[in-house]
Amino acid sequence: MLRIRKWGPAALLVAPSLVAIGVFVYGFLGWNLRVSLSDWRGLRATYDFAGLDNYRRLAGDTRFIDGVQNVVVFTVVFVAGTLIFGFLLALLLERGIRGEAFFRTVFLFPMAISFIATAIIWRWLMSNASGAQETGLNKLFDSVGLGFLANDWFKADSYWAVASVAIAAGWALVGYIMALFLAGMRGVSDDLREAARVDGASEAKAFWHVIRPMLLPVVMSAIVILAHISLKTFDLIYAMDAKSRKIETPALYMWFTTFEGLNFSIGAAIATLLVLGIALVIVPYIWYSVRSERRR
């Protein structure tokens, strides 16, 4: 009785949220898995068990395989580029610089706008129109004598087309990564740095031996966050060029095959594979975060 009185109100307070998350996250994930093992095609839901048929079909589906290749290229370019530039920006801002707030505000503002708006601007910047219609970055390159840089961007007929989308995504996220690095660098107390300097370490050495090791966790979180974004990004690519197979990733293929092709079971199978991919990076990350917090 005492236990109920002690935990009762607390349980009641969190119960609605827990039920909602239980149903809308875990219930739905299970439901989606069930759809992926069914033969549901067309508007009416059918749940006849079809085993791994849908997954087997995806393994031989060139559109899906191309999509996987695209998302790999996208992830590599996006994660590496954003990490490098985010780190560089943090490094430039780290030792208290006049106007730091201004610089931070500038580099972070794309986080406040939608991927749709981002895609609209970048689609025009990366237009591949030529001749009198030439515009965007190609036009800019031409007029400053860098014409050799002009290219077909996301319309290019190569698997690098999707790298153009990664540029836009990197533009949107680089400020976030900069902020993560800044927080990490500042987490190293000035005392520690001063101690290193008193011991005779140069600025560069102090950075290498004192700050760098502390940044490893930041790099890990940045990679996890960026990689999971690249796996699930939908709106940026959709608004850039929804119809192009050159930049289509499984996250988009899922949508098209489900809601336009009405292949619900195939769409569910793609979605399940996406969850598996993301869980692979996210679950260890959450486990590590919660555990290291408890140790503190």
- Which residues from 104-123 bind other proteins, rule CB under 8 A? 105-109, 111-118, 120-122
Q: Which stretch binds other proteins (CB under 8 A): 8-16, 54-62, 149-157, 158-166?
A: 8-16
Number of residues that bind other proteins (CB under 8 A): 95
Decide whether 76 or 278 has the Cβ nearer to other proteins: 278
| 89 Cβ contact list (under 8 Å, min separation 6) | 103, 107, 174, 175, 178, 181
Whether the CB-CB separation of 121 and 210 falls below 8 Å is answered with: no
Which of 50, 76, 140, 150 touches other proteins by CB under 8 A?
140
Q: How far is the CB of 215 from other proteins (least distance, A)?
A: 13
Closest CA to 233 of 71, 55, 53: 71
- Binders of other proteins among 30-89, rule CB under 8 A? 31-32, 35, 45, 89
Give residues 197-226 in contact with other proteins (rule: CB under 8 A).
200, 202-203, 221-222, 225
Q: How far is the CB of 99 from other proteins (least distance, A)?
A: 9
- Residue 75 CA to residue 13 CA, distance in Å, equals 40
- In 3D, which of 72, 65, 75 has the Cα closest to residue 229? 75
- The least CB distance from residue 210 to other proteins, in Å, is 16
Shortest separation between residue 185's beta carbon and other proteins, angstroms: 13
Contact 129, 142 (CB under 8 A): no
Q: Closer to other proteins by CB, 188 or 268: give it.
A: 268
Binds other proteins by CB under 8 A, chosen from 65, 124, 186, 189: 124
Long-range contacts of 211-218 (CB under 8 A, 24+ apart): 211/185, 214/184, 214/185, 214/187, 214/188, 215/181, 215/184, 215/185, 217/184, 218/180, 218/181, 218/183, 218/184
- Binding segment for other proteins (CB under 8 A), chosen from 72-80, 150-158, 196-204, 207-215, is 196-204
Binding of residue 255 to other proteins (CB under 8 A): yes
| Shortest separation between residue 159's beta carbon and other proteins, angstroms | 22
Any contact of residue 272 with other proteins (CB under 8 A)?
yes
Nearest to 162 by CA among 78, 101, 51: 78
d(CA 107, CA 89): 9
Q: How far is the CB of 229 from other proteins (least distance, A)?
A: 10
Are 44 and 187 a contacting pair, CB within 8 Å?
A: no
Question: Does residue 251 bind other proteins (CB under 8 A)?
Answer: yes
By C-beta, is 21 or 214 nearer to other proteins? Answer: 21
Residue 266 in contact with other proteins, rule: CB under 8 A:
no
CB of 51: closest distance to other proteins in angstroms?
A: 19
Site for other proteins in 159-188 (CB under 8 A): 171, 176, 179-180, 183
In the complex, what is the shortest distance from the CB of residue 25 to other proteins, in angstroms, rounded to a whole number? 4
